[in-house]
Amino acid sequence: MTVSHWPAALHLFAYDATQSALNPGGAQATRIAHLWWIFFWVLLVIFALVLLFLLSALLRRRVVNEGLEPVIDPPKEEPGLTAVVSTAVVLTVLVLFALLVRDFFTGNKIYSLSDAGAVGIKLTGHQWWWEVQYQDPEPSRIVTTANEIHIPIGRVVKFELASTDVIHSFWVPNLHGKRDLVPGHPTTVLLKADRAGEYRGQCAEFCGFQHAHMRLLIVAEKPERFEAWLDAQRQDSPAPATESARLGHDVFVSSQCVMCHTIAGTGARATLGPDLSHIGSRITLATGSFPNTRGYLAGWIANPQSLKPGVLMPPNELAPDALNALVDYLESLK
Ligand code: CUA
């Protein structure tokens, strides 16, 4: 992920190609982008015509009868005007109908993927993070991770969407349209990436305080790279290799961290917060909010509220040495 150095105010004008419906990374998004451009050009022409007519009406010479009381004439029949208005109404209806048909056609095409041989991913929305679970008929091969979703290019991915609290919405503009995650109403969406790359997503339904920071990252990659990544995620977390990491491991398993998080291969098995088994291999922290660097990780553990007010994670008052060791340990979990 590219971390932008634009001043905050300029973000309004900075174009991010990794989160844009007009930079499609798959066939579905290509169709949506195509439809968008058709609407754009048709509406631009209509807008120009309307302005043209308005301008010509404004510039018409008016009869000024100074000093006289206005005279109200009986309405005149203007056959020319009636014809113009009728033609405009018919044209408007025809244009709207043509756009409706094109829209229907696009909708039909983007939902025509087949889920045969698809990668199955269960995506659960939480306030304010995404739980990601790669399905497998064999339970021991199921992979749980969070906020970063690797997918193979050229293969359909079937997302089963669910929410445990409020309504969220799954939206990765470079790949597909939006789909809501409604508590108690699981649904599915199929998508396929054709071009490798990192695509940013965003929760697209207001879901509370940190809605704006409920991001996600899709890493679309070659099938062999994807399989290698998935295999690595299936493994237990690596055992601590250094003295400091060993100390950090002990800090983790003996503190309140284990009340919420899982690290596979340790005693930590809670599922209230994101699975941390391979957190060292992730690109971002706090649901796509910050780059996964040592500083942000330490700051996040010590005082998450200062970075993401309202987050459910409590602060952790650790001695500096313990915090340092904990960061060493978490960074080693590749
Ligand atoms: Cu989740 Cu907005």
**Cβ(168) – ligand 1 distance below 6 Å:** yes
Question: Which pLDDT does position 1 carry in this prediction?
Answer: 42
Contact 107, 144 (CB under 8 A): no
| Residue 174 CA to ligand 1 centre (angstroms) | 19
CA-203 nearest atom, ligand 1 = 2
- pTM to 2 decimals? 0.83
| Average pLDDT value for residue range 320-333 | 92
What is the arithmetic mean of pLDDT over 178-194? Answer: 94
Write the DSSP symbol of residue 269: B
Atom of ligand 1 at shortest range from CA of 127: 1
Separation of CA 246 and ligand 1 centre (Å): 36
Name the one residue in this structure whose structure tokens are 């070659």: 222
Ligand 1 contacts CB of residue 110 (under 6 A): no
Which pair of tokens denotes residue 174? Answer: 């470079």
Expressed in angstroms and rounded, the spacing between residue 250 Cα and the centre of ligand 1 is 34
Q: Which residues contact 176 (CB under 8 A, 6 or more apart)?
A: 26, 28, 29, 32, 110, 189, 191
CB distance 207 to ligand 1 below 6 Å: yes
Residues 6+ apart with CB under 8 A from 25: 174, 175, 193, 194, 195, 197, 199, 220
180 CA → ligand 1 middle, Å? 10
Distance CA 268, CA 72 (A): 86
Least confident of 12-21, 31-40, 170-179, 253-262: 12-21
Tell me, what's the pLDDT at 13? 58
Convert the pLDDT of each residue in 75-101 to its tens digit: 677 778 888 889 989 999 999 999 999
Contacts of residue 178, defined as CB under 8 A and 6 or more positions apart, other chains included, come to: 169, 170, 171, 204
For ligand 1, say whether the CB of 32 is within 6 Å of any of its atoms.
no
